Structure 1
Amino acid sequence: MITDNGEPDVEPLPETRRALLHRLARAQAEGRVPSVVGAVVRDGRAVWAGARGGVDGGPPTADTQYRIGSITKTFVAVLVMRLRDEGRLDLADPLGEHLDVPAEAGPGLAGATIAQLLSHSSGLAAEPRGPWWERTPGKLRPEPTDLFGERPLRHPTGRRHHYSNLGYALLGSLVERLRGAPWGDVLREEVLEPLGMRRTTALPVEPYARGWAVHPWADVVQPEPAAETGLMAPAGQLWSTAEDLCRYAAFLSAGDERVLGAESLAEMRSPAVAPEAGSWDQAYGLGLQLARSGGRLLSGHTGSMPGFLAALWTAPEERLASVVLVNATSGLPVGGLAADLLGIVAEREPSCPEPWRPRSEADPELLELTGPWYWGPSAFVLRLRSGRELELGAVGGAGRGSRFRPEEDGTWTGLDGYYAGETLRVARRADGTVDHLDLGTFVFTRRPYDPEAPVPGGVDPEGWRAD
């Protein structure tokens, strides 16, 4: 493959490429699917793509469109997070603050928050009322009131994970209400065009794969309908290609300030609700599925629509991602296949760390903060990272640590771990020198239980002794 700047990508080694193709070929044959396309991304670039089977008498390519099903939900979630970052909404806002929720739906639905809708913890029913929406042409209406059955809430809001296609239909309507335009138009302008995803569309554009159902007991197929789903479109309407989804996977891994920053994407990857019972190897963030495979945490989404299966996984820590597209209703566990493709590259050709480079300059006041600190007798080290970020880590690893983002008022905010969201303040003496650090009421001093610092509870006047 060739990158946007015209330079060839570094392909995996021949043995790795053979292993990737073998895994893809075995999946297509054993899954009995008409065709499958797979791709791997490393360091933001598509470095391998392969295909097995046929589409319209010829082999599919990375430019062949397939329907991507619920991967569509991740695009809707990105649009919602953009609205949040612009201050147009808060994730804690109740749905009823932005959409007109009919009274017959009950008070619980109006009180479900945007975050709960994103993480499938709103308690909403899995599906809208009416016939199977994935195979039924949908109605376009200005408000989604006709989607609710007589009991739209199946669980108390915020209490458990319950996957809801209906919830994402509402989020699509939310985007339309706040942007004043159809969600698909908003998506094209705010996400697809900036990322160069020209082959991702609401309706199929040639060349595209037709969707098939494979008979469970005979080697025959029949076509599946490709319905335009109307109000339910935000739950699974989109068509895309492996090439476009590789660009999208690179974005989900590292962010793009034209669309959504890395910090907001990291927030989307954080587990937002406990998984369903018995599924602790999987979880859900804000619009992204989370799964463990081969000892690594993956984030992304799987998708299915009649005639199609899809999967996209990212492993940001290893700067890897993978994509799988299939034109069959069932038969192939695409999430496992995509995880295997990523794992083959990760295990055979692990990513090299980014080269270390010295900082061009450093604020002397920040350098003064670095080095050993003590919480009581426990030793910690504070390091200065790029962009004035700080990182606190326990010596020996047995203790609470965190990264801290600088704020305009001279404090820092914790980004992860126990101190996520907590405030780190530097307390100075009258002469301006540093006395101690205050981290959410925890006092860190330059000496263990420094008698000159305001250690909560005080320090024994006799100090340290042998017995």
Structure 2
Amino acid sequence: MTYSAEQLLPGTRRALLHRIATAQSEGRAPSLVAAVRRQGQTVWSGARSCVDGHAPDGDTQFRIGSLTKTFTAVLVLRLRDEGLLDLEDPLEKHLPGTGVGDVTIHQLLGHSAGLGAESPAPWWERTPGTLRPELADVLGEQTRLHSPGHRHHYSNPGYTLLGALVEKVRGTSWAEVLRSEILEPLAMYRTGPQPQAPHAGGWAVHPWADVMLPEPAEDLGLMAPAGQLWSTTDDLLRFAAFLAEGDDRVLRTSSVEQMREPSAPGEPGDWQFNYGLGLQVVRSGNRTLIGHTGSLPGFLAALWISVEDDVAAVVLTNTTAGLMVSGVAADLVDIVAEAEPRIPEPWRPLPEVDAELLALTGPWYWGTRANVVRMAPDGGLELAPLQGVGRGARFIAQPDGSWTGLDGYYAGETLRVVRNSDGSVNHLDLGSFVFTREPYDPAAAVPGGVDEGGWRGL
């Protein structure tokens, strides 16, 4: 039977609705809208509102706060992929005169530059950006709280600097670069710096009484790259698909995957949270979620993706506090992934085979530890312990015939095939480790040599 993503079971749909209804009711949110994407399409959406007949839908804009940072990070990675900068470049090389020019672009992307979390008073999220006309007004006098590169410390001013970097290199505004390089290619026509009807209004709900107060919606000025955007669930699910799979019109898949890799040590004792390059990486139960949360006065947002389960969920609401949208969005992913596990694609053989590559597959021994090398569907190699847990990695071929580790213990390490004079394989050299076809193969170049007496009993 062919599985269609549209065929979410009635029980799954009800569980999703129950979760957001409970969240809106117990969190006392004026309105809430949510949606789930799987197999390239929206498979469920739902909404709740305190006003009958006025529930938001997938086209209703909400402010998404710090979810904006992920968009800014994509723009910076595009500059890197075009060769216009390197992530290890100091900021001063491309954006001189900030006073913090020694921090690297990589550190800014991963919030490890040691900058403060907020700009100087008054509270930037609730006041006009015109109060901070220069970068010095955003950074303030105490620009450093920590040594760069040593710890994760979330910084909104850091993403203001990245937005200014984009503008400097591109020679036009951050908003225009965003529109032309991300929003238009991904058909995110309902996402932008300013609200366009239909959009929700932001509200503060009194913590001890069922009454509300409208929140101002300020233009954040220079702080826009840290939290300005408005968007919809429909648009954000398109963005989720891009973050899961990549899209060469915007950013190649390998760069999107790099965004998902933890970039700096987290806070002490927090083993469930990491930050990549513009993406939060969290553990929720038994699965890893990537995405971002966002908040501005009057609005909360969360977008989580389980790449392994091929499920993405977004939750948007118009309340300042009282509702943990991050947990709600994570629960929506879990509901679908647990109730209806991903159906694997049919196995299919490769269209062609590289005979030399095929000859490298099978068992290899590091000393006496058995490992196995397999051909990956993408033409790479995969090394893994034959049994149990141990060191392994995926490898990608290089033009000189070597292989580079992509993950695990051997990430960045070089694998070389060492051959005999007749062209046959003698051993594999992986970062100085010798892998042989037999345990301590006497015919291979084993460091320290192999005892001439060979294997023996007691």
TM-score higher than 0.5 here?
Answer: yes
CA distance in 2, matches of 1:164, 1:398: 37
CA distance in 1, matches of 2:388, 2:87: 34
Once the 2 structures are TM-superposed, how far is the Cα of residue 300 of structure 1 from its aligned partner? 0.6
Q: Is 2:92 aligned against 1:96? A: yes
Secondary structure class of the residue paired with 1:263: helix
User: What one-letter code is carried by the residue in structure 2 that aligns with 1:27?
Assistant: A
Secondary structure class of the residue paired with 1:465: coil
**Corresponding residue for 1:422?**
413
User: What one-letter code is carried by the residue in structure 2 that aligns with 1:447?
Assistant: E
User: What one-letter code is carried by the residue in structure 1 that aligns with 2:111?
Assistant: H
CA distance in 2, matches of 1:340, 1:114: 34
**Corresponding residue for 2:35?**
39
CA distance in 1, matches of 2:308, 2:20: 24
User: What one-letter code is carried by the residue in structure 1 that aligns with 2:405?
Assistant: G
Once the 2 structures are TM-superposed, how far is the Cα of residue 156 of structure 1 from its aligned partner? 1.0
Once the 2 structures are TM-superposed, how far is the Cα of residue 143 of structure 1 from its aligned partner? 5.6
**Corresponding residue for 2:219?**
228
1:94·1:112 contact (CA, 8 Å) conserved in 2? yes
Once the 2 structures are TM-superposed, how far is the Cα of residue 183 of structure 1 from its aligned partner? 1.1
Greater mean deviation of Cα atoms: 250-259 or 335-344:
250-259
**Corresponding residue for 2:26?**
30
Once the 2 structures are TM-superposed, how far is the Cα of residue 15 of structure 1 from its aligned partner? 0.5
Structure 2 unpaired stretches of 5+: none
Q: Is 2:390 aligned against 1:394? A: no
Q: CA offsets, 1:341-371, max 9 Å, x none?
A: 1101111001112221100101111111111
**Corresponding residue for 2:320?**
329
**Corresponding residue for 1:3?**
none
Secondary structure class of the residue paired with 2:387: helix
Distance change (3 Å), C-alpha of 1:56 and 1:117:
farther
User: What one-letter code is carried by the residue in structure 2 that aligns with 1:44?
Assistant: G
Q: CA offsets, 1:138-167, max 9 Å, x none?
A: 139886233221111111111111110000
- State which of 372, 376, 381 in structure 1 corresponds to 2:367: 376
Percent identity between matched residues is: 63
Q: Is 2:168 aligned against 1:177? A: yes
User: What one-letter code is carried by the residue in structure 2 that aligns with 1:401?
Assistant: G
1:11-410 correspondence runs (5 A)? 11-53=7-49, 58-102=54-98, 105=99, 109-139=100-130, 144-410=135-401
Once the 2 structures are TM-superposed, how far is the Cα of residue 56 of structure 1 from its aligned partner? 9.9
Q: CA offsets, 1:180-231, max 9 Å, x none?
A: 1111111111111111111001100000000001111111111111101000
Secondary structure class of the residue paired with 1:386: coil
CA distance in 2, matches of 1:56, 1:79: 40
Once the 2 structures are TM-superposed, how far is the Cα of residue 388 of structure 1 from its aligned partner? 2.1
CA distance in 2, matches of 1:398, 1:295: 17
Distance change (3 Å), C-alpha of 1:325 and 1:355:
same
Secondary structure class of the residue paired with 1:438: strand
CA distance in 2, matches of 1:77, 1:197: 17
CA distance in 1, matches of 2:249, 2:25: 41
Secondary structure class of the residue paired with 2:428: strand
2:5·2:39 contact (CA, 8 Å) conserved in 1? no
Greater mean deviation of Cα atoms: 188-197 or 165-174:
188-197
Secondary structure class of the residue paired with 1:195: coil
CA distance in 2, matches of 1:369, 1:9: 38
CA distance in 1, matches of 2:260, 2:454: 46
Distance change (3 Å), C-alpha of 1:55 and 1:154:
farther
User: What one-letter code is carried by the residue in structure 2 that aligns with 1:200?
Assistant: T
**Corresponding residue for 1:5?**
none
CA distance in 2, matches of 1:56, 1:22: 18
Once the 2 structures are TM-superposed, how far is the Cα of residue 245 of structure 1 from its aligned partner? 0.4
User: What one-letter code is carried by the residue in structure 2 that aligns with 1:299?
Assistant: I
CA distance in 1, matches of 2:285, 2:328: 12
TM-score using structure 1 length = 0.95
TM-score using structure 2 length = 0.96
2:63·2:299 contact (CA, 8 Å) conserved in 1? yes
Once the 2 structures are TM-superposed, how far is the Cα of residue 434 of structure 1 from its aligned partner? 1.4
Structure 1 unpaired stretches of 5+: 1-7
2:5·2:38 contact (CA, 8 Å) conserved in 1? no
CA distance in 1, matches of 2:282, 2:88: 25
Once the 2 structures are TM-superposed, how far is the Cα of residue 399 of structure 1 from its aligned partner? 2.3
1:411·1:423 contact (CA, 8 Å) conserved in 2? yes
1:199·1:241 contact (CA, 8 Å) conserved in 2? yes
**Corresponding residue for 1:432?**
423
CA distance in 1, matches of 2:261, 2:152: 14
- Cα RMSD of the aligned pairs, angstroms, is 1.5
Runs of 4 or more off by more than 6 Å in structure 1?
A: none
CA distance in 2, matches of 1:455, 1:326: 62
User: What one-letter code is carried by the residue in structure 2 that aligns with 1:202?
Assistant: P
Distance change (3 Å), C-alpha of 1:55 and 1:443:
farther
2:133·2:222 contact (CA, 8 Å) conserved in 1? no
CA distance in 1, matches of 2:412, 2:171: 33
2:426·2:445 contact (CA, 8 Å) conserved in 1? no
2:92·2:101 contact (CA, 8 Å) conserved in 1? yes
Secondary structure class of the residue paired with 1:139: helix
Q: CA offsets, 1:5-49, max 9 Å, x none?
A: xxx951411000000000100000000010001111112321111
CA distance in 1, matches of 2:116, 2:85: 24
Once the 2 structures are TM-superposed, how far is the Cα of residue 271 of structure 1 from its aligned partner? 1.1
2:133·2:221 contact (CA, 8 Å) conserved in 1? no
